[in-house]
Amino acid sequence: MKKFTFLAIVISIVGLSNVGAQSNKQQQPQQVTPNVAPAPAAPAPDTKENSQQATIVEPEWPDVAYLFVEGKLVPLEAVELRPEMKSKALSGETSFGYFVSGATSPIKVPSQSKFVVKLSRDGNPAKLVNVDRLTPDIKAGIRRVAVAKVTGGFSSKYIQANTSVELLFSRYGSSLWFSPASPLSPGEYLVTTVGGGAYCFKVE
């Protein structure tokens, strides 16, 4: 009798303990996880190489020259070169050259400027890009560039014209930077490239 009574008391105590634990469990506030959006990924470090690649803007077409101003490509005056030959009857001297329409270019550039071109072939850039000084003929409404002349008589000579501007070159992506070795004097100028491109500008 005492044994059963002891077991009953134990069972009653255990039952009360479980009921109390369940009651405490029900009274505890439920924790709610806030719906927080994930933090954005940190941006990739801006390396020098990435910065240079981001600022390189190259010509779309080969042998087209542009003025380079603050990372932008500014178009030059595209012109058509026409051959010209002039002879002097008395001296027998014959001159050869080219001319373009218009006595002056609408494109003005500073005396110290940088240009960009994507060449259609590899090689010595000094033989692939030229800048020449033009001679305006206001009356005829054209600009001329002399190539050479041949003197008359028995001792005729071939004399090449000296109109070219000395240039400095450097790589710019897959294209080429070029600029005058010294500031340009005021006047009209012509850029020609190996692919037949011809572009004019003027310095005031």
Tell me: the pLDDT tens digits for 5-62?
Answer: 333 333 343 343 443 444 444 444 444 444 444 444 444 444 444 444 457 899 999 9
pLDDT mean over 91-111: 94
Q: pTM of this prediction?
A: 0.70
The answer to whether residue 136 scores a pLDDT higher than 50 is: yes
Which pLDDT score, from 0 to 100, does residue 96 have?
A: 93
pLDDT digits 0-9 by tens, 67-95: 999 999 999 999 999 999 988 877 778 99
In this predicted structure, what is the pLDDT of residue 201?
Answer: 98
Distance from C-alpha of 97 to C-alpha of 117, rounded to nearest angstrom:
24
What percent of the chain is predicted at pLDDT more than 90?
61
Q: How many CB atoms lie within 10 A of CB 159?
A: 13
pLDDT in the model for residue 91: 73
Counts of helices then strands in the chain (DSSP H, E): 2, 13
Q: Half-sphere exposure of 12 toward its Cβ, with a 13 Å CA cutoff?
A: 6
Greater confidence, 166 or 45? Answer: 166
pLDDT for the residue 27: 44
Which residue shows structure tokens 């850029």?
Answer: 191
Please compute the mean of the pLDDT values over residues 166-195 and round it to a whole number: 96
Selection from 203, 95, 76 nearest residue 159 by Cα: 95
Q: CA-CA distance, 89 to 92, in Å (whole number)? A: 5
Please name the amino acid found at residue 153.
Answer: G
Question: What is the pLDDT, as a whole number, of residue 154?
Answer: 66
